[in-house]
Amino acid sequence: MFTGSAELYDAIYGAFKDYPAEVTTIAAVVKSAHPDARTVLDVGCGTGEHVKHLRMNDSFEVDGLDLDPDLLAVARRKVVDARFFQADMATFELGIRYDVVLCLFSSIGYLKSLDRVTAGLRRFHAHLAKDGVVVVEPWFAPQVLREGTGAPVHVVAGGAQVERTSHLSIQGRVSTIVFTYHIEDAAGTRTIEEVHELGLFTQAEMLDCFREAGLHATYDPVGPTGRGLYVARAV
């Protein structure tokens, strides 16, 4: 999904995401839900930025899982003590159980369909230790997003000048974001384009998916970034 832009990811998202603040919020949620929690799996971990900040809190031992090998390569260089697994969040089997399974930054939306969301939540459930909790930051519900072009992001990454533009379109229950990267460096100028597809699900549909996966979830409409947050336990 991030083919060609993995090395730019941290510079781009670091320009507007406050990872330390997000992790402070998530850690507080986790400690409230499970005061003794220690082991954490971050599903859809990307370049491991949440993993890095959570591991800076001495009470957490954090691993990561992602489908994208290029993002994982960045994560492994960044957080050398963590275990990072390459797998599909809807089908993974690690043979390990965790006190907490996280899925942040709307990564759950990449599952695209309610059936795959339920499948993913079942895998989350299967990897929970006794009294474990699942924490999921959702993508947007239908009728919330507006189609069109987003504001450009300009960053310097590895000596390169990068401009990222985006265009959002919606077809049925799937939102499609086309990211275009214009990169200028010593080698010249080049353009990279990526297509990201994320499913649009209502709160009621998400809660149904949790129930079908054997989890009871509560919903905070704000969460760490304004997109909401589900916290769930095994039924």
Q: How confident is the model at residue 200 (pLDDT cuts 50, 70, 90)?
A: very high
pLDDT digits (tens, 9 = 90+) for 9-55: 999 999 999 999 999 999 999 999 999 999 999 999 999 999 999 99
- Per-residue pLDDT for 76 more than 90? yes
pTM of the model: 0.96
CATH tag, 148-199 = 2.20.130.10
Domain residues of the chain, as ranges? Answer: 6-141+201-234, 148-199
Report the distance separating Cα 175 and Cα 227, nearest Å. 15
Supply the pLDDT for residue 5.
Answer: 81
Per the prediction, the chain carries an average pLDDT of 96
CATH tag, 6-141+201-234 = 3.40.50.150
- Alpha-carbon distances of 222 from 74, 117, 208, 226, 230, rounded to whole Å: 29, 21, 20, 4, 10
- Per-residue pLDDT for 108 more than 90? yes
- Per-residue pLDDT for 95 more than 70? yes
Supply the pLDDT for residue 3.
Answer: 65
Beta-carbon contacts of 24 under 8 Å, excluding residues fewer than 6 positions away, are none
